[in-house]
Structure 1
Amino acid sequence: MMREYENLSTLHTNREPARTHYIPYDSFEKAVAGNPADSAYYQLLNGVWDFAYYARDIDENESAPFTESIPVPSCWQCYGYEDPNYTNVNYPYPVDPPFVPDDNPMGVYHRNITISESWAQRRTYIVFEGVSSHLSVFVNGTKVGTSMGSHLPAEFELTPYLHQGENDLTVKVRKWCLGSYLEDQDFFRFNGIFRDVYLLSRDQDRLWDIEINADDKNIVYTGEGTCTILNQNGTEDDLSSPILWNAEKPYLYTAIIHHGSEFIAQKIGLRKISVSPLGELLINGVAVKLKGVNHHDTHPEHGYYETNDELLQELKLMKSLNMNCIRTSHYPPTPYFLEMCDQLGFYVVDETDIETHGFCTRFPGYVGYDTENMDWICRRPEWQNAYVERAVRMVERDKNHPCVIFWSLGNESGYGENFAAMSQWIHNRDNSRLVHYESANTVGNPDTVDVVSYMYPDLSRTDGFAQSDDMRPVFLCEYSHAMGNGPGDLMDYWRLIYSRPKLIGGCIWEWADHTVLRNGVGLYGGDFNEMTHDGNFCCDGLVFHDRSFKAGTLEAKHAYQPMWSKMENGQLKIQNCYDFTNLNEFTLFWEIETDGKITDSGSLIVDIPPHTAKTVALDYQLPEQCALGCFLNLRLVKGETEFASDQHDLEIRRVSSPLCDSSNTLTLTQEAEYILIHGNGFTHKFNTHYGLLEDVNGLTCGMTQLSVWRAPTDNDRRIKSQWGYLNNDNQSGENFNRLFNKVYDCKLEGNSITVTGSLAGVSRLPFFRYTCVYRFFDDGSIDVNLSGTVRENCIWLPRLGFEFKLPKSAQHFSYFGMGPGETYCDMHHYANTGMYQSSAEVEYVPYIVPQEHGNHYDTRLLKMDNGLTFASDTPFEINVSEYTSEMLTEAMHTNELVKADYITVRIDYKVSGIGSASCGPELIETYRFSEKEIQYGFRISID
């Protein structure tokens, strides 16, 4: 039997027509202040409600006994009713639209509402801003209406069902409905009343919708009542000299609509969106670049529910990271979120609550996006109303927001007649914005979209789109997948974006890790015995689930920063990357840093208009020489916030420390499989069987290893099987993690030991044949020089270098290299080369799934606090950790890691880059360790 929530002809009952979001106030002054709690016509119903959970839905007329309670807003899985389920593509039930399983869980909510005498003389409405997935509303035992569309408002008039005094309100929420087929987003599947619920008291002859049209010249209101326009000083403004809105300078006017006894406020920004003949995106006639991120509503303890304070804090963090664009992936956000985007200044891609990529997997054998299957539902005429009404409800709610520049039809749902119908409706309703839909590219980007959009193209494809004959703007709606350690390719994309007018920017995927936090541990798909799940693929945020930053976060800030600089013929040239802001609003601080010490500094104001560059003279003094390096450091600061930083190597003469003699005061003696190196106050131990140092004057505590393995990052997910023996697969890879070091010869000559050997994975031909020369000096120092050849048909290496074991007491160290955060060859632009203090404990980065971390690129000196020092005139890479690569490889959660009994210090020739291949292009070749001829050396010193 078809149920109401499976019937395409009844998407809702008695729900009010979509309208602009607003709160009516009972005075002009209250409307200007804009605090809903002060309105006599507003009653927030958030709080603790009675609650009953049923594993299958009960008859709507059946009354539920309430023995438990639950906060509203919330998701019931976060309170122990069912386990969470993370799935990306696959539907968590059979693909049989519009039908859903008979055992359809239900949450029943109950509370009393009080209608005062004054409210009883007026009309009363209830607004649900977000409910997953189908709700039925009852007042005093009578059914009021139904709705679906989880991230869209549902409003019902309650007047006929109410009486003055106490009234009984019951809401029955079903886990699944036909609308669930349109909500197959890549996230944890939660349910409940997860956004605000409130009552509105309205005039009998209430004003329903409010539309205010604004461009770059005027604000026009043509509705009923009177409209007063106030500027930010709170005075009435005739707009004879309007101030325009943009993301850098988000000037807002306030429109107050007075109708009957109600005063309604709308924040309005004057701005015009257009496209240039070159395909540039223009805001108020100025070409802008979208420096964006995809944002999901996600909280590690509350699921879909984020408080207004939490949302505001996120937006402020984004602003501090130089972001100016947000794609609301993949559904409309809360009204408050858009209000803050208007106020703080963001360009918003407002996305319809539609994603159906699970249709790709309705038959076995799914390999990538099967557009024939994915298109199935969007070509079905009986589903067209379900598609179009979601666009209607989004557009009507959000139409007055200046921050919204694109209407997006949805995400990863193929293309068909239903999307064409959505686009047609939107274009007819609102021609002031552009229509976006990435999946339109599967059918050649028809004229139903105004923006050509792509996901995760590599640089070559991206450049091809930019140089095509299609003069629509090109937008990367998802790029640089930020899963785990990464992303590592942002600067490469932005060098290209700035060079091509038609490339208008993009949105990093995505803002925050999705996890369920239990006992301090972030959990993900597969941790809840789900029927289908996608592992940790949801742990793909630019920030951790607590919104703390990763190295990738800071790399994004650098790529998006408003100032780029370079040294040309000894002169500093600064490019202003802002679209509307002169750099004279900031202070430019500069420093000369020599061998880790500041030797000169200053500050100045630079007058550089947007989109222009200027050579800037700095009056600094340089030393004649340095030992480690001399750098110019730049910081662009406003107030207490640093918006940009750069560093330039000034390349003055470097003087190395003189080498100590290797004379006859050393004694090298061979005992069994050891060579002992004795000197004045020190003894080293070399193992001839393994051809490796076993002890450096008691400062190490085990055999050194020559190795290439690193614990795979999330971005190594497609290459790791070619690297290692993983998941009992002995066929795919070089088995770098099951390594044999073969010594063919170990020869002592004077004060040097020469080792000839090879490295090979189990069951494989050696991939690296090498010669390593160890030269010993009177002061106890050791020169290590490795040369060799990587097998021609060997896959590119994760890394290559030596691993030293140090006692746990050797926690602390200093280094001259890139820091203070982790850096890699493709993820270091945010960092400066300098002298830093750290410890093995501090170096740990708690990625949700343990993986490679803590590397420092471009290092020239590492000094452990136990007296062991590593240095080289040629930059190398270091990693100091309480965990081994093997430990990090095996662990699936942070709480599974147990610290080793020693500190592992890696001294690497090179480490491959990070990239963003977890859901993007393969690592750029430049950042792959693919060299075949290796020459590498460093010096070990002791104090």
Structure 2
Amino acid sequence: MRVYEDLRQIHVNTLAPRAHYIPYDTLQKALEGKKEHSAYYHLLNGTWDFHYDSRDIDCPEQIKDWDQVTVPSCWQSTGHEKPYYTNVNYPYPVDPPYVPDDNPVGVYRRFITVTKEQAAMDTTLVFEGVASCLELFVNGAYVGFSTVSHSSSEFSVSLHEGKNEILVKVYKWCVGSYLEDQDFFRCNGIFRDVYLLTRPAGHVHDVQVGFDEKGIYCDLPYDIYTPQGQPADLTQLVLWNTEKPYLYTVVIRQAGEFIPVKVGLRSQCVSEKGELLINGVSVKLKGVNHHDSHPVNGYVMSYEDMKTDLLKMKELNINTIRTSHYPPDPVFLELCDELGFYVVDEADLETHGFTGSIRTERYYDERPIWPCHDPAWREAFVDRARRLVERDKNHTCVIMWSLGNESNFGLNHVAMSDFVRERQKRIPGLFRLIHYERACEGVGIHHNERKKDSDAVDVVSRMYPSTWYMEQYLEYTGDKRPFFLCEYCHAMGNGPGDLMDYWETFERYPNMIGGCIWEWADHVALDGEGRLGYGGDFGEETHDGNFCCDGLVFHDRSFKAGSLEAKYCYQPLRTDWKEGVLTLHNRNDFTSFEEYDFQWNVTVDGKVIKEGDFVLDTKPHEKSQINLTLPNADCSYGAYLNIYMKDRNGHEVAFTQHRLQDASPLEAGTGAAAVTVEGEYARITGKGFVYLFNLHYGWLEKLDETLKSPLKLTVWKAPTDNDIANKGRWYEEKYHQVHSKVYEARVEGNCIRIKGSLCAVAREKFLEYEVAYTFLADGRIDIQLDGAFDNRHYFLPRLGFECKVKEQEFSYFGYGPGEAYIDMHHGARMGLYESNADEQYVPYMMPQEHGNHYNTKMLQIGGLTFVSPQGFECNVSRYTAEELTRKNHGYELEKDEYTNLRIDYKVSGLGSNSCGPELRERYRMMDDHVYFAFSILRR
């Protein structure tokens, strides 16, 4: 049996797992913490010789044709293999522990020069991340073997003075690959740092620094320093939290080495009510799942890449990260300690592909086909928990140890939990919670709400339940453990659309401690022409399409509307406005409002008419009230009170808005236009205008030079990624092939009344309607739609009017400046905005519905102004819904000759059904009775 297929040899000659640290040769260097300055640390990143072969190489020393690659890197980024995306299915036959005989291998070689002094020291060669496994040779001699891609592998090596050869064989697949079936582009190679540690004899192997709110616990000699590098006064301890991440530096002195460990002091426990208490305070986890992922470099993330991600998370008020689904780069956790994040640290374990390996199998089947039930896999499972805990045990940011992801639940998970609990007993200080989402009964993500989770976990965890399910679980089980959503609000494409619903639920229950949105950033890769691609764009045999494009931010980490929705839901401010009193709720856990600047203004029809500022000293979890005397002002579209909360650097942390006055009704029109019937057309004339109305089709056909197509009643929109289930039903209903039937067209003075229905091909009618068009002498048109929807049909994508217009520039009063929908508008703001059709395009990887503006009161484009005190939804685009529906990539889209304009009664919401619950009924266009009134004004 090949070593990489042998469950009994998952590691050969590796050193025992230990905490991640770098030893230094002086105290000053240890306090500075720049590892490249340590005399004991020798980074081997850079240019290596490289040879790729499609199958194993028995004699790597005989290789003649060497390429060169940069380490760290992935084969799929250096052109040696194509990118490969699959979510659930394994990219090879499921025959554990075996992998395909044609198992590609990459051979790395580097020569290093070692001094006499270094050769005399104890030398460790460290690989922080290699996929999927490695064999190591030094100076032609076999050293050892190791699996577990996202954990460190360390070898004690003997080097001689002068030139030494390091040769590494990396296999694409191994038995461990069955435990690494995560949802991302599959990459291979040496993708994290490689370095040598040359250390004095007698050095310590592992360091363990326990801590809690009372102090620091370590069995080795140590000193404690402040962040400024001064000896710490331990009589006045400063505690760490995510809002103020104060870190001490513990410097351990041993055998001529100085080992720094950054430590934040804090407590952690669970209250009797199931609250998660940090430093005695009940906290909510406002989280996101994070992959180590880069659009060009694959698994490789630089220090700058990781810090950029974390700083952008801070901008969005995120305080928690789940490291899906493996331990992250060690630097990532150092940054989480430093910048202030709670971390659910996850073992490198997922066996999701066994779900579909036997199609008749239930997800929770206990047959040995699942590795979690097979005793032969037990050590491999426990090994991954061991490597997680040992490497990261000194990190303050870690609040939970996660046993993996989507790997069923069995005795091997219980063994992992037993190991973690026993190991934590030997770490003084706080006790982290054990997490695993599958430790429950049920099928798939639809768990049985009447069954409690296994005692092997300390947290009840779910992914993608409805808020109804969340409440049902607590009601039926009475479980008082913290309830956590490790994944929720799937942020694929345009969305997520139901985030506020979850947070209203979290805040009602003490033991609902929050959750982590899936996921941080879109996963993409470059094709041969330098274009961004997803699954299937690279010739994969099995793939999951654009399911990897599911980020809260785009691949380049730019924000989208869903990002701002999360920022709003996670923000530390809520406000209420009633009868001149503004109540401000401090949702921070540790920071007073005295550390922020508050500003306010009143806008009328988008223009500021009064503004001011104020200061507060509201304590965390408390509220304050202030009286504001606001001016009375008439408005056409709306008057609003806007509150801004900024940090001392001027960054807007939070924003709230309260409507003071809604849109005013339009004044009654004066004078009627003349309407004359000419065959199947009605000719409408007045002061300087001529309109044409087609009585046969029941639509307005000509206004002025602005209108380039009839104003039609339609229902189709390009399905979003979160319409994954709705799309099939919409096609079954044939909503993409809808026709309007006019039963009656009556001219009553200056009013044209159309009675008709909407009906899809081969389907019964789903909407009966009457539309009244009233034409006034000044060119104004008042339109009233009365309709009855037959709810035996599936709900509609949308309902409203659409046409083509000549102009691209427009202005509107409504939610903006970005897109906004009925269930995703909290991060937008009611105001007056100017834009153009090109600026409305949102570059989702899969073309789809975008650019909508919810609750619009006015839209002006060309010579026309659309107004409705009732409010409408508008969309201005260079692309037709049909074009967005047909094409699979943004670069395939072809712009329309004209601008496509929608004036909608209602657009069905976004939801998160690409991997979550169905769209709530209140967000669906399924209203039994439809009444929609708006007016078109001439400029």
TM-score, scaled to structure 2: 0.97
1:417-456 CA distances to partner (integer Å, 9 max, x unpaired)?
1111111110011141110000102374221111110111
Instruction: Tell me which of 389, 392, 407 is aligned to 1:395.
Output: 389
Q: Identify if the C-alpha distance between structure 1 residues 353 and 60 changes in structure 2 by more than 3 Å, giving closer, same or farther.
A: farther
Tell me, yes or no, if structure 1 residue 633 matches structure 2 residue 617.
no
Partners of 1:685 and 1:56 lie apart in 2 by: 72
| Number of the residue aligned with 2:446 | none
Report the equivalent of 1:461.
469
Q: Give the match's secondary structure for 1:316.
A: helix
- Answer with 521-530 or 754-763: which moved more: 521-530
Residue 310 of structure 2 corresponds to residue 303 of structure 1: no
Distance 2:80 2:775 in 1: 67
8 Å CA contact retained: 1:352, 1:394: yes
Instruction: Identify the range of structure 1 (66-75 vs 132-141) with the bigger mean alpha-carbon deviation.
Output: 66-75
Paired with 1:692 and 1:848, the residues of 2 have a C-alpha distance of: 35
CA-to-partner distance for each residue in 1:606-644, whole Å, 9 max, x for gaps?
1211111222223x4322422211100011101221111
Gaps of 5+ in 1: 725-732
Task: Find the counterpart in structure 2 of residue 730 from structure 1.
Answer: none
Is 1:796–2:804 an aligned residue pair? no
Q: Verify: 1:165 aligned to 2:173, yes or no.
A: no
Looking at structure 2, the residues matched to 613 and 640 of structure 1 have their Cα atoms a distance apart, in angstroms, of: 23
| Corresponding residue of 1:292 | 287
2:562 aligned residue (527, 549, 552):
552
**Separation (CA, whole Å) in 1 of partners of 2:846 and 2:678:** 45
Which residue of structure 1 aligns with residue 9 of structure 2? 10
**1:520 Cα deviation from its structure 2 partner:** 5.3
Q: Distance in 1 between matches of 2:810 and 2:113?
A: 65
CA drift at 1:89: 1.0
Deviation at 1:183, TM superposition (A): 0.3
Q: Quick check: 1:642 aligned with 2:638? A: no
Distance apart, 1:314 and its partner CA: 0.3
- 8 A contact 1:804–1:906 mirrored in 2: yes
How far residue 662 of structure 1 moved from its aligned partner, in angstroms, is 3.2
Give the Å deviation of 1:117: 2.5
User: 2:123, 2:679 → 1: CA distance?
Assistant: 93
Per the alignment, residue 894 of structure 1 pairs with: 890
2:146 alignment counterpart: 147
Q: Structure 1 residue aligned with 2:178, among 177, 181, 186?
A: 181
Measure how far apart 1:737 and its partner are: 0.6
Q: How far 1:919 sits from its partner (Å)?
A: 0.3
The answer to whether residue 668 in structure 2 is matched with residue 672 in structure 1 is no
Q: CA–CA distance in 1 between the matches of 2:578 and 2:338?
A: 39
Q: Who is 2:592 aligned against?
A: 582
What is residue 369 of structure 1 aligned with on the other side?
Answer: 363
Measured after TM superposition, the shift of residue 381 of structure 1 is: 0.9
Query: Residues 449 and 707 from structure 1, CA distance in 2 versus in 1: closer, same or farther, beyond 3 angstroms?
Result: same
Instruction: Please state whether the residue corresponding to 1:222 is helix, strand or coil.
Output: coil
Q: Is the 8 A contact 1:326 1:507 kept in 2?
A: yes
Select 2:219's aligned residue among 213, 219, 222. Answer: 222
Q: Deviations over 1:645-681 (max 9, x none)?
A: 00000137x5444233233xx3333333322222222
The reply to whether residue 263 of structure 1 matches residue 270 of structure 2 is: no
Task: Classify 1:374/1:815 alpha carbon distance in 2 versus 1 (closer, same or farther; 3 Å).
Answer: farther
1:507 is aligned to 2:516 = yes
Q: What is the CA–CA distance in structure 2 between the aligned matches of 1:503 and 1:903, rounded to whole Å?
A: 46
Aligned equivalents of 2:326, 2:536: Cα separation in 1: 25
Aligned match of 2:548 in 513, 516, 538?
A: 538
Give the aligned partner of residue 52 of structure 1: 51
8 Å CA contact retained: 1:25, 1:40: yes
Letter in 1 for 2:268: I
Superposition CA RMSD, Å:
1.4
The equivalent of 2:481 in structure 1 is: 472
- Aligned equivalents of 2:866 and 2:387: distance in 1? 63
Which whole-Å CA distance do the structure 1 matches of 2:762 and 2:300 have between them? 51
Q: 2:876 matched to which residue of 1? A: 880
Shift of residue 61, structure 1, vs aligned partner: 5.2
Counterpart of 2:448? none
Offset at 1:521?
A: 3.2
Please say if 1:929 is aligned against 2:925.
Answer: yes
Structure-1 separation of matches of 2:798 and 2:239: 52
**AA partner of residue 927 (structure 2):** E
Indicate whether 1:528 and 2:538 are aligned: yes
The one-letter code of the counterpart of 1:402 is T
Q: Select which of 694, 704, 715 maps to 2:701.
A: 694
Q: Does the 8 A contact of 2:368 with 2:374 survive in 1?
A: no
Shift of 1:62: 5.0
Partner of 1:378: 372
Matched with 1:414 is: 408
Report the 3-state secondary structure (helix = DSSP H, G, I; strand = E; otherwise coil) of the residue aligned with 1:849. coil
Task: Supply the AA of the counterpart residue of 2:398.
Answer: V
Query: In the alignment, which of 488, 494, 498 is matched to residue 507 of structure 2?
Result: 498
Alignment of 1:355-366 (within 5 A): 355-365=350-360
**Aligned-pair distance for 1:915?**
0.7
Alignment-derived partner of residue 435 in structure 1: 434
Deviation readout 1:171-206 (Å, 9 max, x if unpaired):
110000000000011111111111111111111211
The answer to whether residue 890 in structure 2 is matched with residue 871 in structure 1 is no
Residue 621, structure 1, aligned to residue 630, structure 2: yes
| Cα displacement string for residues 364-404 of structure 1 (whole angstroms, at most 9, x for unaligned residues) | 346x7354469721111111110111111111110000000
Structure 1 residue 570 displacement after superposition = 4.0
Q: 1:272·1:283 contact (CA, 8 Å) conserved in 2?
A: yes
Alpha-carbon distance in 2 for matches of 1:63, 1:10: 26
1:66–1:111 distance in 2 versus 1, CA, 3 Å = farther
Query: 1:523 is matched by which residue type in structure 2?
Result: G
Q: Distance in 2 between matches of 1:158 and 1:255?
A: 29
| Matched-pair contact (CA < 8 Å) for 1:466–1:503 | no
Comparing 235-244 and 918-927, the one that deviates more: 235-244
How far does residue 66 in structure 1 lie from its aligned partner after superposition? Answer: 3.5
1:256–1:266: 8 Å Cα contact kept in structure 2? Answer: yes
Alignment check: 8 A CA contact 1:576 1:609 kept: yes
Q: Name which of 832, 835, 848 aligns with 2:832.
A: 835
1:640 counterpart SS class: coil
- SS of match in other structure, 2:253: strand
> Residue 337 of structure 2 aligns with which residue?
342
The structure-2 alpha-carbon separation of the partners of 1:520 and 1:709, relative to structure 1 and needing over 3 Å to count, comes to: farther
Deviation string 1:255-287 (CA, Å, 9 cap, x unpaired) is: 111112211100011111100000000111111
Q: Which amino acid aligns with 1:479?
A: Y
Specify the code of the residue in structure 1 equivalent to 2:737: R
Deviations 1:659-706 (A, max 9, x none): 33233xx33333333222222221112122211111212211112221
Counterpart-to-counterpart distance in 1, 2:598 and 2:805:
43
Q: What secondary structure is seen at the aligned counterpart in 2 of 1:266?
A: strand
Cα separation, 2, equivalents of 1:4 and 1:903 = 62
Q: 1:926/1:375 Cα in 2 relative to 1: closer, same or farther (>3 Å)?
A: farther
- How many angstroms apart in 2 are the aligned matches of 1:475 and 1:375? 29
What percent identity do the matched residue pairs reach? 52
Residue 736 (structure 2) pairs with residue 737 (structure 1): yes
Please report how far the alpha carbon of residue 127 of structure 1 lies from its aligned counterpart in structure 2 after TM superposition.
Answer: 0.7
Give, in angstroms, the shift of residue 60 of structure 1: 4.9
Instruction: State the secondary structure of the residue aligned to 2:733.
Output: coil
Amino acid at match of 2:639: C
Return the letter of the residue paired with 1:191: N
Taking the aligned partners of 1:165 and 1:605, their CA distance within structure 2 comes to 67
Distance (Å, rounded) in 1 between the aligned partners of 2:70 and 2:171: 17
**Which of 682, 685, 692 is equivalent to 2:689?**
682
Contact 2:367–2:373 (Cα < 8 Å) also in 1: no
Q: Which residue among 597, 617, 620 is the counterpart of 1:610? A: 620
Q: Quick one: distance in 1 between partners of 2:363 and 2:546?
A: 20
CA contact (8 A) 2:61 2:140 kept: no
User: Equivalent residue for 1:915?
Assistant: 911
Structure 2 unpaired stretches of 5+: 426-430, 443-451
How has the CA–CA distance of structure 1 residues 503 and 172 changed in structure 2, closer, same or farther, with 3 Å as cutoff? same
Partner of 1:9, secondary structure, is: helix
Instruction: Give the distance between the partners of 1:174 and 1:133, measured in 2 at CA.
Output: 6
